[in-house]
Amino acid sequence: MNTENSSPFGGGGGLYIHIPFCKQACHYCDFHFSTSLGKKEAMIAALKRELELRKSEFATENVETIYFGGGTPSVLELGEIHDLVSTVYKHYKVADTPEITLEANPDDLSLQKIQALAKSPINRLSLGIQSFFDTDLKLMNRAHSADEASESLKNAVRHFDNISIDLIYGMPDMTLDRWKKNIEKALSYGVPHISSYALTIEPKTALANFVDKGLIRPASDELAQEHFHLLYETLLQEGFICYEISNFGKPGYFSQNNSAYWQQKKYVGIGPSAHSFDGIRRGWNIGNNPKYIKALEKGELPMETETLSTKDKYNEYVMTGLRTIWGVDVTRIQKEYGEKFKDYLLMQSKKFREEGLLVLEENVLSTTKKGKFLADGIAADLFMINLS
Ligand code: SF4
């Protein structure tokens, strides 16, 4: 544990605030959250305390982005959001036009709430739509219905220009046709940003249990890959850019918060289970609401940190670089990590370049269209495991 005067990070960048509450547990989710909102007030007090205690980490730079993630930040009342944002402004130097995102679930977004949010400092909404079909939503145990998904999005695009929606593909029994309809429906609302992930069956989730009992069969890798390619082709035709494998934005609508994260910029994570990174060290807060609150009540930061080795930093850069349009800059590898890392990268990537999965252009290594869906596996092959 770090106490008030030994905050481990310095610098500036993005501020992530984790709201660890959800109305119900989605069957696929392994994030940190509680379905009991009983401690919401104490949690907000603790978040405010952590914001205050860690203000020195932005002593020299502006906060460029503020991101309310979760959990489900839309369970917050408007007054609570204002309270947290004013705490940020009170203790931090915030950029003139910061991107301030709120993740929201359709069942929390009445027209009234959307209108009020539009007048608040929140200027970007990220909606957890996941699917426009009740079959999928029920399987995932989402708290909203297909009608609520459509209604909230219809209202949201009227009041917010900068909107992102989440969609999940590769679900059990999801035909290519149903996935196509999901994409078309999303596009019909004119959203400028879509985040889309393949459903993964995480250990210890309800979904993993259903699979173990033979109640459902996960979609095959081939089908998930077909879903991805359909998404990719359709969105590119519609003027989106796939700037990260799971993120598609129209020009001017990339998530500034996430882009900074993928470009290894600094971020400070506030709240239980939130992670932080300052270019040298990574930190993570305790993922337990009562313990988090208790520590902050005592003026302690319930955070552990580790200093990244050169190998860790190289591996992280290769992983995120290959997932994004910015690729992996070989000159940077040489400069920051040394000749041995550069030689290793070029040697390991040779077979993927010959197979047309990677391309090296102007000394930047990136995935081709064919290699995109396989980026994580390719990156793992380029990782530095041992270096004497
Ligand atoms: S709403 Fe989001 S964080 Fe909450 S259980 Fe569902 S997927 Fe997990």
Residue to probe by mutation, ligand 1, list 18, 24, 33, most atoms within 8 Å of CB? 33
Q: What is the pLDDT of residues 19-39, one digit of tens each?
A: 999 999 999 999 888 999 999
Where in the chain are all domains bearing CATH 3.20.20.70?
13-263
* The ligand 1 atom nearest the CA atom of 70: 3
Res. 15: pLDDT tops 90: yes
pLDDT at 7: 44
Residue to probe by mutation, ligand 1, list 26, 136, 142, most atoms within 8 Å of CB? 26
Res. 11: pLDDT tops 70: no
Average pLDDT across the chain, whole number: 94
CA distance linking residue 249 with residue 287, whole number of Å: 31
pLDDT at 10: 47
* Number of neighbours of residue 24 by Cβ within 10 angstroms: 12
* Percentage of the residues of the chain whose pLDDT score is greater than 90: 89
The count of residues in the chain is 388
Ligand 1 centroid to Cα of residue 47, in Å, is 20
Res. 9: pLDDT tops 70: no
Ligand 1 centroid to Cα of residue 26, in Å, is 5
* The ligand 1 atom nearest the CA atom of 103: 2
Element containing residue 3 per DSSP (H, E): strand 2-3
The full DSSP string for 189-255 is TT-SEEEEEE----TTSHHHHHHHTTS--PPPHHHHHHHHHHHHHHHHHTT-EEEETTEEE-TT-S-
Ligand 1 centroid to Cα of residue 2, in Å, is 29
- 66 ligand 1 Cβ < 6 A: no
* The ligand 1 atom nearest the CA atom of 71: 3
- 72 ligand 1 Cβ < 6 A: yes
Would you place residue 6 in the very low, low, confident or very high pLDDT band (cuts 50, 70, 90)? very low
Element containing residue 22 per DSSP (H, E): none
Name residue, tokens 């319930």: 302
Residue to probe by mutation, ligand 1, list 24, 28, 31, most atoms within 8 Å of CB? 31
Opening angle at CA 197, ends 85 and 148, nearest 5: 65
Q: Are 105 and 131 in contact (CB under 8 A)?
A: no
Instruction: Find, among 115, 144, 117, the residue nearest to 131 by Cα.
Output: 144
Ligand 1 centroid to Cα of residue 290, in Å, is 19
pLDDT at 279: 86
Would you place residue 386 in the very low, low, confident or very high pLDDT band (cuts 50, 70, 90)? low
Res. 148: pLDDT tops 90: yes
Res. 1: pLDDT tops 80: no
Q: What is the pLDDT of residues 36-82, one digit of tens each?
A: 999 999 999 999 999 999 999 998 889 999 999 999 999 999 999 99
Ligand 1 centroid to Cα of residue 261, in Å, is 21
Would you place residue 17 in the very low, low, confident or very high pLDDT band (cuts 50, 70, 90)? very high
Q: Are 14 and 264 in contact (CB under 8 A)?
A: no
Higher pLDDT, 370 or 9: 370
The full DSSP string for 271-292 is STT-EEE-SSEEEEE-S-HHHH
Extract the tokens encoding 274: 């939130």
Which segment of 9-18, 134-143, 198-207 scores lowest on mean pLDDT? 9-18
- 140 ligand 1 Cβ < 6 A: no
Instruction: Find, among 76, 65, 66, the residue nearest to 20 by Cα.
Output: 76
Q: What is the pLDDT of residues 224-265, one digit of tens each?
A: 999 999 999 999 999 999 999 999 999 999 999 999 999 888
* The ligand 1 atom nearest the CA atom of 25: 5
Q: What is the pLDDT of residues 281-307, one digit of tens each?
A: 999 999 999 999 999 999 999 999 999
- 106 ligand 1 Cβ < 6 A: no
- 29 ligand 1 Cβ < 6 A: yes
Q: What is the pLDDT of residues 178-188, one digit of tens each?
A: 999 999 999 99
Where in the chain are all domains bearing CATH 1.10.10.920?
310-382
What superfamily would CATH give domain 13-263?
Aldolase class I (3.20.20.70)
Radius of gyration of the chain (CA): 21
**Residues 262-285: what's their mean pLDDT?**
94
Res. 319: pLDDT tops 60: yes
Instruction: Find, among 99, 53, 102, the residue nearest to 270 by Cα.
Output: 53
Res. 8: pLDDT tops 60: no
Q: Looking at the domain 310-382, which fold is it? A: Arc Repressor Mutant, subunit A (1.10.10)
